[in-house]
Amino acid sequence: MNRYYDLVDLQVLLAVAEENNLSRGAMRCNLAPSSVSVRLKGLEEAIGARLLVREARGVALTPAGRILVEHAKKCFAQLDQMHVDLLPYARGITGNVTLFASDNAMSFLPDDLAVFFKRNPSTRVTLEERPSADIVAAVAAGRAPLGIVAFETEHPDLEYLPYRQDELVLLVPRDHDLGQRKEVPFVSCLSEPFICLAHGNALHTYLISHAAKLGAVLDVRVQVSGYRAIAQLVAAGAGVGVIPRSTVVSSDLQTLAVVKLSDPWAIRDLRICRNPRILGNSFSDDLVEVLCTSAARDLQNDADAATPITVAAVDTAVTESSNRSTSATRFPDRELRLIVPMASGGGADICMRMMLPTLQALWGHDVFVDNRAGGTGAVGLAAAKTSRPDGYTVVLCTASHAALQATRTVQPYDLLKDFEPVGQMTSTPYVLVVNPNVPVRTIADVIKLSNQNKDGLVFSSAGVGSMQALAGLLLASRGHARLLHVPYTGGGPAVAAVLSGQVDMVFATRFEAQPYIKSGKLRAIAVTSLQRMDNSPDLPTVAESGLPGFEVSQFYGLLAPAGTPRVAIETINKKVSAALQSPDLVKRYGKEGVQVVTSNPQEFRAFLASHITRFKPLASEDTDALGATAT
CA atoms within 13 A on the CB side of 467: 26
Q: List, in order, residues 6 or more apart from 316 with CB less than 8 Å away.
A: none
Q: Mean pLDDT in the chain?
A: 81
Contact 555, 424 (CB under 8 A): yes
CATH 3.30.70.580 fits 95-163+269-300, yes or no: no
CATH 3.30.930.10 fits 7-87, yes or no: no
Per mean pLDDT, which of 194-198, 333-337, 391-395 is the most reliable? 391-395
- 192-246 pLDDT, tens digit per residue, is 999 988 766 778 888 888 888 888 888 888 888 788 889 889 988 889 999 988 8
pLDDT on residue 152:
64
Q: Residue 140, Cβ neighbours under 10 Å: how many? A: 18
Helix 282-306 × helix 378-385 angle, to 10°: 20
Instruction: Please provide the CATH number assigned to the domain covering 334-621.
Output: 3.40.190.150
Burial (CB count <10 Å: 0-12, 13-18, 19+), residue 123 = buried
Contact 335, 365 (CB under 8 A): yes
- Alpha carbon distance 381, 231 (integer Å): 45
Per mean pLDDT, which of 74-88, 281-295, 367-381, 448-462 is the most reliable? 448-462
- 400-426 pLDDT, tens digit per residue, is 888 888 777 667 788 999 999 999 998
Q: List, in order, residues 6 or more apart from 262 with CB less than 8 Å away.
A: 183, 184, 185
- Alpha carbon distance 303, 435 (integer Å): 48
Q: Where are the domains of the chain?
A: 7-87, 95-163+269-300, 170-199+215-262, 334-621
| Backbone dihedral region for residue 287 (phi beyond 0: left; psi -120 to 50: alpha; all else: beta) | alpha
Residues in a beta bridge with 476: none
SS3 content of the chain, % helix, strand, coil (to 5): 45, 20, 30
Q: Residue 482, Cβ neighbours under 10 Å: how many? A: 16
Measure Cα distances from 581 to 358, 427, 597 in Å: 10, 14, 9
Identical fold, 7-87 and 95-163+269-300: no
**What average pLDDT does this structure show over 311-326?**
37
Helix 491-499 × helix 510-519 angle, to 10°: 20
CATH 3.30.450.40 fits 170-199+215-262, yes or no: no
- Alpha carbon distance 508, 528 (integer Å): 10
pLDDT on residue 480:
92
pLDDT on residue 303:
45
pLDDT on residue 573:
95
- Alpha carbon distance 483, 489 (integer Å): 19
pLDDT on residue 383:
85
pLDDT on residue 442:
95
Helix 63-90 × helix 7-19 angle, to 10°: 120
Measure Cα distances from 591 to 52, 83, 507 in Å: 72, 53, 18
pLDDT on residue 283:
72
- 140-181 pLDDT, tens digit per residue, is 888 888 899 887 667 888 888 888 888 899 999 988 888 888
Q: What is the DSSP letter of 430?
A: -
Measure Cα distances from 311 to 314, 325, 608 in Å: 6, 15, 43
Range list of β-strands (E), 102-219: 123-129, 146-150, 159-173, 183-184, 194-197
Q: Residue 309, Cβ neighbours under 10 Å: how many? A: 7
Measure Cα distances from 558 to 60, 393, 456 in Å: 76, 10, 38
